[in-house]
Amino acid sequence: MQRLEEALARLDAALAAPPTLPQPWRQVVRDRLDDVAAELSDERAVAADTWLDARAGQLHRERNRLLARLAVLGPLVDNGDPDAVRVAVARLHTDVHHHHQRVSDLAYDAVGMDVGGSG
């Protein structure tokens, strides 16, 4: 999970950079999106108990929707207005960050169940 956080931080830094030279900026943003996609693809939401299975399934579907959005952003990053790219990618960044937090919450709840905590 740490690697996804690092990929998101690098994407955030790329978005913050001014697109003074649009092509190199676009390439950096595209590379950072690829990093986020790779880390998101490796993610596994683990449920330790059947009552967590529904949340894990929902997170899996959410992850797939985020990966689909990442794929759609490619042409926009390559050819779109830099301001529109920045807005779209920033929204995706926020959504991936929220998703990552929900995955962390699920892992925390699963560990709580394993050690006999209340859920």
Instruction: Give the pLDDT confidence of 12-66 residue by residue, as tens digits.
Output: 999 888 777 666 889 999 999 999 999 999 887 666 567 788 888 899 999 999 9
Query: At residue 30, what is the residue type?
Result: R
- Integer angstrom CA distances of residue 44 from 12, 20, 64, 95: 23, 38, 12, 17
Q: Is 18 helix (H, G, I), strand (E, B) or coil?
A: coil
User: 40 with 67: CB under 8 angstroms?
Assistant: yes
Domain boundaries defined on the chain: 30-113
| pTM recorded for the entire structure | 0.81
Burial (0-12, 13-18, 19+ Cβ within 10 Å), 36: buried
